[in-house]
Amino acid sequence: MSQRSSKNIKFVDADILVIGGGFGGCGATYESRYWGRDLKIVLVEKANIERSGAVSHGLSAINCYMGMQWGENQPADFVRYARGDLMGLVREDLIFDIARHVDSTVHKFEEWGLPIMKDPKTGRYLREGKWQVMIHGESYKPIIAEAARKSASEVYNRIMVTHLLMDKTRPNRVAGALGFNVRDGQLHVFRAKAVIVAAGGASHVFRPRSVGEGAGKTWYAPWSSASAYGLVLRTGAKMIQMENRIVLARFKDGYGPVGAWSLLLKAQTTNAYGENYEAARLDEIKSLVGKYAETTPLPTCLRNHAMLQEVKAGNGPIYMQTQQVLDTKEKENTGWEDFLDMTVGQAVVWASQNIDPKEKPSELTTSEPYVMGSHATCSGAWASGPEDCAPADYQWGYNRMTTVEGLFGAGDTIGGSAHKFSSGSFTEGRIAGKSAVKYVRELAGNPPQVDEAQLTMLQQEIFKPLENFEIGRNEIVAGSVAPSYISPLQGLQRLEKIMDEYVGGISTFYMTSEPMLNRGLELLTMLKEDLDHIGAEDLHQLQRAWELHHRVWTAEAVLRHTLYRQETRWPGYYYRGDFPKLDDADWHAFTASQYDVKTGEWTMSKLPVHHIIE
């Protein structure tokens, strides 16, 4: 398997290549076609765009909607909200850019057939909260995928993209991507003038709470394997806020969402004694984060912190008092549909534990950490902002282009712009698509060139796990133990254990420190060395092998950023035991990293936070 025959290689040329068929990728494909009617736009997806991405199994709400036509909210209001929730550190220009366009996206969704619930009294969209509108969303993704499918010149499903290709004449310009078909193993070489990465963030970087019969169950999509970062950071693109992982408060064991129950149905969360613990712990929280504890609503991480302190004090379990709010059949139906639209497993957990939410409360807990740029966190690539409102040092020519020329991003890929969710990710994809078309037009007769030597080297690297297995399979002992290779699952379990125990996972109550992080880096370095000896018995395991590669690269970025930021900016997401308080004097800045593929070195730095909204 060291060489692949030329017959088993498919070359695909494109003007714009979109990697990832979730909401960001669908938005990028749709808008690229609008502005680039004559361009060849290719969408490539690891699964099938019909049901891929974080929204594959549906949603019960659109969490980013202004309602400007009714005078409900303005983009500046949304920037203030996101800034408050992230303790002051967001790219306000990127968030403002999404907020001013997101309503048009949601209206398109409704035109395409998405059922959005209406308030019978006002005729407006039914609000779950200030920024959320309720939907009948089981088929949310297929509706949006149809628009992307009709917009793309070609859609390639079942392609695991493993690497981005760089221009052989200009090393800081992207030239395409490389991947293999997970069904037949055919290598696909995509040569493109512009690339938009809209792949997923990361679950299963930290060890999940679900083990045994629940293994694989996570809040964020388990197939989100960090490709948004594993692809981009290895090009030398600058990354920011990779330490800003997210921890969610969710219904225990099923990871069921709490938004509709708390925001729409107004169910209260209490400790085991029925007490409102958040209010009781406010003074303690102020001692850690100062003025940010006065933000309304209380930032997500601080609500987590209060819950964690209650559990440590022996005041758990934490309960949502569902039985106090289900006083009508309509409310009961809303509560159940919230799960049936997007987290059927939570309904199954309730049934298996004899829980009727009309009769008794249900437990909440905090999840393991996830790495993403589309939810209430800011991990991702440093990107150029909009020309009309981005500060000078946030803007270098093309909106949503990374520091690598021709490489754009959307959704989880772009850092600094939290609270995008589904509608915001699609909107950011639209923004990136329009910019990519402009870039391709201005590129004219100077397209990038793929380096044949690089292509040959990567081709051998991609399929090496199959060769490792073929050579070492006869040495297997005790069922799965092999002296010459490790399996993707063994590698994943090692990664989860390292990140959990040293980088602030559930086993340490999200606590870490410089000595713990340095020890974690030692172990992570050993794991990276062992990735050269990973074995794959078939194409499915080969896919798992490359998902592991992307997760390990992302994990190292998370660790290095966490080590670099010497404060606890987001208690409830993670804690630095050696720097337990927020420190605005020294750390009101973005953390940035840049990986040098030639030397293998990481460069860490601070980038300024500009507040453009009062």
> What positions carry a catalytic annotation?
63, 128, 219, 250, 338, 375, 422
| Interatomic CA distance for residues 249 and 604, integer angstroms | 31
Tokens of 322: 């569902």
Closest CA to 359 of 334, 328, 323, 325: 323
Which residue matches tokens 């990038």?
A: 448
Say if residue 38 is exposed, middle or buried (CB neighbours under 10 Å; 0-12, 13-18, 19+).
Answer: exposed
Close Cβ partners of 171 (under 8 Å, ≥ 6 residues apart): none
Structure-token pair, residue 601: 């070195």
- Residue in 521, 587, 531, 586 with CA at minimum distance from that of residue 555: 521
CA distances from 507 to 199, 496, 583 (A): 29, 11, 26
Structure tokens at 238: 């600058």
Amino acid, single-letter form, for residue 36: G
Q: Cβ(369)–Cβ(505) under 8 Å? A: yes
Nearest to 220 by CA among 426, 30, 379, 430: 379
**Whole-number Å distance between alpha carbons of 535 and 156:** 26
- Residue 111: how many other CB atoms lie within 10 Å: 9
| Cis, peptide link before residue 317, omega less than 30° from 0 | yes
Cβ neighbors of 598 (< 8 A, separation 6 or more) are none
